[in-house]
A and B are shown apart, each in its own frame.
Chain A
Amino acid sequence: MIYLDAAATTLEKPSQVARAMAEAVQTMSSPGRGRYPASRCAEETTFRCRNEAAELFGVPSPEQVIITSNATHGLNIAMHSLVKPGSRVIISGYEHNSVLRPLHAVPGVELVIIDAPLFDREEMTRQWKQALRQGADAAVCVHVSNVFGYVLPIKEIADLCRCHGVPLVVDASQSAGVLPLSLRELGAAFIAMPGHKGLYGPQGTGLLLCGTDTEPLLRGGTGSASRSREMPEELPDRLEAGTHNMPGIAGLLEGIRFVRRCGTEQIAHHEQMLVRRAAEKLRKMDGVRLWYDETGSSQSGVLSFAVEGLDCEEVGEALAEKGVAVRAGLHCAPLAHQTVGTQEKGTIRLSPSVFTSGGQIDSFCRCLQGIIRDSARF
């Protein structure tokens, strides 16, 4: 199989991820539950995971690294902490449903959507500046669009939010492990990310980096402050109720170590090179429409395209039959499609990982060419 759906989940993982998970099942209970070896082993693994993440993402202390079950979980905590009924919230026009749905659930939220054109970072920054002038209770912005691979000007947006005293939540679902990302440098209130994409950890893991006060989303046992009916004030316990996913954390730790060994710059370079290679071939095919930043400056390792006269889902299915895994449709991000004008038909998205080769991209292109050719016969 040629797996080109890393933007959903990186299926191929470093071998040490599965090994660490299998070992954790047999040897670890949960952190902070006792001084016996299984709990201590869980504590040490969790602490290492927080530390590795803190170093990779410029977090001042490991307590500020919250282990979540995915980016959606982290985003929900972040928005629950900042957004109240009637809040004014600014978001980009490229947000995922993991942002839209939690905001929609809060009564009376005034949503300001920055719908600047694709790959136009200047216009995006200008519109954020304008919207922030009127103030806001919170801002939420995706770092990289999960549909188009568009790298938003997050540093500029973060600077503007800081200047206006507006807490910023960054959705780093597509950038964590691929692009430089620092809580300290951005001065963001929260950065949420999955463990199972660019960090090469298992599904069911994620991280929330906290730069401000928090409000728990879940309440329950933490192995600490047990007499209190309130959740502890201290992070990470405040946001981590219940038994930890130790196999997941052990796997995530190995994933993060792998990313740090490879280097995010190398990973980004590899994925962008593959996307460029795909784009060069796709643009030569009849009827293929690409959403690609020709300058390369705001394009990450995610690429959307469509084939004239063919339904995206049918192309996705035809590719699957030929052993190529891509994602077609709206990618849980109807707002991004609406911003770009692809909400009616959707797109087909390919997203390689560090394990994808140039040869696999070429094979995918040959498969697609075959599908287009076959469709022309009918």
Chain B
Amino acid sequence: MDVLLLMAGSITHAQRMAAMLENRGLRASIARAPAGVDPRGCGYGVKIRRAYGTQALDVLRHAGIKVRGIYQHDGEAWREVEL
């Protein structure tokens, strides 16, 4: 899978992440967290292309926007990864 899910703390947090990435020309779409990804339930995140992962994280870090976790689908399930 060539998609990463960057987890947010709330829908507003996810919106801020997506807006920041889009402003920098990186396609980002808000998504509900699949079951199992967010143990708290009903989580939100931002999906981006895997190829832009490092760049996206740099943009967010630079803007002071925290990411609650990075997930990638390995064909069976979403798993936390490190970039």
Listed in ascending order, the chain A residues whose CB lies under 8 Å from chain B are 31-32, 34-35, 43-44, 46-47, 50, 61-63, 222-228, 232-237
Contact yes or no, B15 A47, CB < 8 A: yes
Contacting residues, chain A, for B11 (C-beta < 8 A): 31-32, 43, 223-224, 237
When distances are taken between beta carbons in the complex, the residues of chain B under 8 Å from A236 are 10, 12
Of chain A, the residue at the smallest CB distance from B39 is A227
Q: What distance in Å separates the Cβ of A296 from its nearest Cβ neighbour in chain B?
A: 41
Our pick among A35, A46, A47, A235 for the contact of B32 (Cβ within 8 Å) is: A35
Contact yes or no, B40 A225, CB < 8 A = yes
B-side contacts of A44, CB under 8 Å: 15
B79 within 8 A of A: no
Extra inter-chain contacts (10) besides given A35-B31, A226-B42, CB under 8 Å: A31-B11, A31-B12, A46-B12, A47-B16, A63-B10, A63-B12, A222-B10, A234-B13, A237-B11, A237-B12
How far does the alpha carbon of A233 sit from the alpha carbon of B31 in the complex, in Å?
20
Q: Determine the chain A residues whose CB is within 8 A of the CB of B40 once the complex forms.
A: 224-228, 232
Among A31, A225, A237, the residue within 8 A (CB) of B41 is: A225
21 A-B contacts (beta carbon < 8 Å): A31-B11, A32-B11, A32-B44, A35-B30, A43-B11, A47-B12, A47-B15, A47-B19, A61-B16, A223-B11, A224-B9, A224-B10, A224-B40, A225-B42, A226-B42, A227-B39, A232-B9, A233-B9, A234-B13, A237-B10, A237-B12
Closest Cβ–Cβ distance, residue B29 to chain A (whole Å):
10
Q: B15–A43 contact, CB under 8 A?
A: yes
Q: Which residues of A contact B15 (CB under 8 A)?
A: 43-44, 47, 62
For the complex formed, measure the closest distance between the CB of B3 and the CB atoms of chain A, giving whole angstroms: 15
Within 8 A of A (CB), among B8-37: 9-13, 15-16, 19, 30-32
**A227–B43 Cα gap in the complex (Å)?**
10
Bound together, the chains give a CA A63 to CA B63 distance in angstroms of 14
| Chain A contacts for B12, CB-based, 8 A | 31, 46-47, 50, 62-63, 235-237
Contacts A32-B10, A224-B11, A236-B10; is A63 near B44 (CB within 8 Å)?
no
Q: In the complex, what residues of B have CB within 8 A of residue A32's CB?
A: 10-11, 42, 44
| Smallest beta-carbon distance B37→chain A, Å | 13
Which residue of the partner chain A has the closest CB to B40?
A225
A34-B32, A63-B10, A234-B10 known; A227+B41 contact, CB < 8 A:
yes
Interchain CB contact under 8 A, A63 and B39? no
Q: Are B16 and A224 in contact (CB under 8 A)?
A: no
Q: What is the minimal beta-carbon distance from B48 to any residue of chain A, in angstroms? A: 17
CB-nearest residue of chain B relative to A233?
A: B9
> Would you give the shortest CB distance from B74 to chain A, in whole angstroms?
23
In angstroms, Cα B43 to Cα A237, docked, is: 12
Q: Could you say which residues of chain B place their CB within 8 Å of the CB of A225?
A: 38, 40-43
Taken together as a complex, chains A and B put the C-alpha atoms of A222 and B42 apart, in Å, by: 9
A residues near B42, Cβ cutoff 8 Å = 32, 223-227
- Enumerate chain B residues within 8 angstroms of A62, measured Cβ to Cβ: 12, 15-16
- A47 partner residues in chain B, CB cutoff 8 A: 12, 15-16, 19
Query: A237 — which chain B residues lie within 8 A by C-beta?
Result: 9-12
> Which residues from A are CB-within-8-Å of B19?
47
List residues of chain B with CB within 8 A of the CB of A46: 12
The CA-CA distance from A226 to B31 in the complex, in Å, is 16
CA–CA, A234 and B8, complex, Å: 10
**How far is it, in angstroms, between the C-alpha of A236 and the C-alpha of B30 when the chains are bound?**
17
Distance A174 CA – B41 CA, assembled complex (angstroms)? 41
In this complex, the member of A32, A44, A237 whose beta carbon has the largest number of chain B beta carbons within 10 angstroms is A32
Bound CA–CA A228/B40 (angstroms) = 6
In the complex, per-residue mask of B40-60: 1 if CB is within 8 Å of any chain A CB, else 0: 111110000000000000000
Bound CA–CA A32/B40 (angstroms): 15
Return the chain B residue nearest A237 by Cβ.
Answer: B10
Residues of B within 8 Å of A232, CB to CB, are: 9-10, 40
Taking CB as reference atom, which chain B residue is nearest A40? B30
Which of A50, A234, A236 has the most chain B CB within a 10 Å cutoff?
A234
Provide the bound-state CA to CA distance between A323 and B30, in Å: 52
State A228–B16 Cα separation when bound (angstroms): 24
* Residue of B with least CB distance to A64: B12
